[in-house]
Structures are given as C-alpha cells and as structure tokens.
C-alpha cells in the first residue's frame, strides 16, 4: 500500500522513518503518494494524485503531477515533467527538460530526454529513444531500437520501430517505418 511522505519535524526536515526514501527538498503534496520502496530526492515535486511506487526514482527538479504514475524501476530526473494519466514503468527513463503528458505509456528500456515532448496517447517502448526537440503525439508508437531525434515530429497513427533513426521531418497518420535508417524523411 502506498503511503504519503514521512512527517516533517519542526525544523522542516523529513523524519527518517524506516522504509521511506525521501531526501532533500522533495515536495509531496495533495493526494500524491510515494511508496516505501520508491525514492524521491533532490528538489523533486510529486503533486495531485500522482503515484511513485515499486523501486521507481524521482530526482533532481523532476515533477510528477495530475494522475501520472511512475513505477517498477523507472526513473524521472533532471527537470523532466510527467503529467496527465501517463504511465512510466519498466526501466524507462525520462530526463532533461522532457515533457510527457496525456495518456502516454513509456515502458521497457525506453528513454525520453532533451526537450522532447510526448503527448496524447503515444506509446514509447522497447529500447526506443525520443530526444532533442522531437515531438511524438496522437496514437503514435515508437518501439524496438528506434531513435527519434532532432526536430522530428511523429503524429497520428504512425509506427516507428525496428532500428529506424529519424533526425527530422514530419511523420503522420499511417506512416510505418521499421527499417534500419531513414532520415531525412520522405515528406
């Protein structure tokens, strides 16, 4: 059962209760929860109905808000922001100034970093990477060992997988690419 952050003593520091791993200036507010095995550290913020559980780690200036969940061994760090009903799980990593919102699922060993934006109902999984200033939205799927970088935009019902590497361009609707290399885009 998830529990709220440990109580704060009169000097403003968390009371060290066995099982809780909350360090630094972490804010756990509203109905947000951090389970006993999860770690929250640095200047992280966990608010709303957000949940951090399993062996998940939230650190740095990361924010978990609304109904987002971070669990298993997932990590959200640096200045990353995760909101909406997003699920980050497995060994997934969200870092940098990345923004993940909506009903997004980031799983497996996937990484979202840099100033990337992943939103709506997108799915990022496997060993996929979404970085730099890329945008993945709609019902797009990025999986396998695919890499989305630069200023690439993947939207609609696109499926980018295999070992595809996109360094820019716009991929929409029913585009499917699972080859070994494709950049610049064909549009």
Q: Which of 65-74, 91-100, 173-182 has the lowest mean pLDDT?
A: 173-182
CA distance 13 to 134: 39
184 prior amide bond cis, ω within 30: yes
Q: Which of 12-16, 21-25, 157-161 has the lowest mean pLDDT?
A: 12-16
Is 0.75 topped by the overall pTM?
yes
Q: What is the pLDDT of residues 78-130, one digit of tens each?
A: 999 999 999 999 999 999 999 999 999 999 999 999 999 999 999 999 999 99
Q: Is the pLDDT of residue 184 over 80?
A: no
**pLDDT-derived band of residue 16, with 50, 70 and 90 as boundaries?**
very low
**pLDDT-derived band of residue 15, with 50, 70 and 90 as boundaries?**
very low
pLDDT at site 20: 66
CA 111 vs CA 14, 30, 37, 66: distances in Å: 31, 28, 22, 21
Contact (Cβ atoms closer than 8 angstroms) between residue 169 and residue 183? yes
Q: Is the pLDDT of residue 133 over 90?
A: yes
């Amino acid at each position: 059962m998830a529990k709220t952050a440990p109580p704060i003593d009169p000097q403003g520091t968390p009371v060290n209760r066995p099982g809780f791993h909350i360090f630094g200036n972490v804010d756990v507010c509203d109905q947000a929860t951090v389970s006993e095995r999860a770690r929250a550290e640095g200047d992280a913020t966990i608010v709303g109905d957000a949940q951090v559980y399993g062996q998940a780690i939230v650190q740095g200036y990361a924010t978990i808000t609304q109904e987002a969940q971070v669990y298993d061994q997932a990590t959200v760090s640096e200045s990353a922001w995760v909101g909406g009903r997003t699920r980050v799980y497995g060994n997934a990593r969200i870092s940098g100034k990345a923004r993940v919102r909506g009903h997004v699922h980031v799983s497996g060993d996937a990484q979202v970093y840099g100033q990337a934006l992943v939103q709506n109902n997108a799915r990022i999984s496997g060993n996929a990477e979404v970085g730099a200033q890329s945008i993945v939205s709609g019902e797009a799927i990025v999986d396998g060992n695919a890499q989305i970088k630069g200023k690439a935009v993947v939207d609609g019902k696109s499926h980018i997988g295999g070992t595809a590497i996109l360094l820019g361009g716009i991929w929409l609707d029913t585009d499917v690419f699972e080859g070994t290399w494709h950049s610049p885009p064909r549009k």
